[in-house]
Structure 1
Amino acid sequence: MPTLLHIDSSFAPAELSASRSVTATFREAWEAQHPDGTVIYRDLAAAPVPHLDGAAAAAGFVPPAEHTDEQRAAFALREELTRELESADVVLIGAPMYNFTIPSTLKAWLDHVIIMGRTSGAEQTTTSGTPTVVVASRGGGYGPGTPRESFEFVTTYLGKALGSLGLETEFIVPELTLARSNPAMADLVELADASKAKAHEEAAAQAKALAARFA
């Protein structure tokens, strides 16, 4: 049975988080197709991984068979997270925009799993070709032609970072998520609601389409 790696990084609870809501829609549709499948879940807000330190980073450049006991211990979490990624048939990531970019917890996860010569830095990596869906929610509008287009560092960064892992990444982007709570955005509520509905539709559709690959 197929394996889904599901990562959420929003610090908001499910009932208030746009990205968690949409990833939940994806996961529900996926599990409906594969009720006996495996889901590996990482909530990086509830259980953040530590920032990559020097010892763990250095150990990534030494073949595992040559690790000292100290290097093996330092590399243990990187190995665990990377094996989860390598075992996934599909990856699902919730990546809300915080201060124009991704949550630091998601960046920490990426720092652990980007390993030169294994998951990155080669034409064919151990994660090449894995379908990946990223729910990149944001409170305002940062799409092409908007005044803040140049401030968008979520899809621009993740497209490159996940691309370096060989992941085949698609983005679902619910925008204007603060419209109902910010009086200054009152005239954008209708657009926000449409964006939200479209995101949920895309999530369900992509989940079903990807699940069908492993029928």
Structure 2
Amino acid sequence: MAERIVILTGAGISAESGLGTFRDGDGLWSRYDLNAVATPGGFARDPALVHEFYNARRANARAAAPNAAHRALARLERDWPGAVLIVTQNVDDLHERAGSRDVLHMHGELAQALCAACGARWPAPAAMAPGDSCPACAARAVRPDVVWFGEYPYHMDRIAKALRAADLFVAIGTSGHVYPAAGFVQEAAQAGARTLELNLEPSATASDFDAARFGPAGVIVPDWVAELVG
């Protein structure tokens, strides 16, 4: 049976598409206080500010294009004889636009809206505002369908099952600072998977991986995929 591959992607894979990371000194994140725009409390205090921030992030994501790393992972899913699951910390849709189909967004998606009152989800408009009403229940409790600090990530049961069954776990463009994703390498290794880090530089959990390659994602990910699928 062909090997089952689980791939975790973080902000580093989308950076080459022009989408910044938390740690960029001059990006969108640097202009906002994360406690104000990425926590439930911040949304309760100033929903207009939070919507302004995510409207800007949504516009940035829609203007971005998948890069060579995204396209390489789509090629891997298409050409690999075994299962390939992408678990992403990113809220953009660049994996899907590159052609990947089996993608779990553990931190939600910018392209989706969520009703905090009834739990309904629907495609987000380009701009959202505090006065927007839910199309399902009419409550004015509309928020971006993203996981904020202090909230529980999505799809954790399926992710845990995939990690236990994986033959190979690969982390791409992740910092290793954000849990629970930072602990996935240990979960996979304990279940018997080989582990590989592909990153611009060593992550905080680099010592937990069996092997690593460092460099721009747009270079090292296509090279790695080419070695696997020819």
Could you tell me the TM-score, scaled by structure 1's length? 0.43
Greater strand content: 2
Higher helix share: 1
Q: TM-score, normalised by structure 2?
A: 0.41
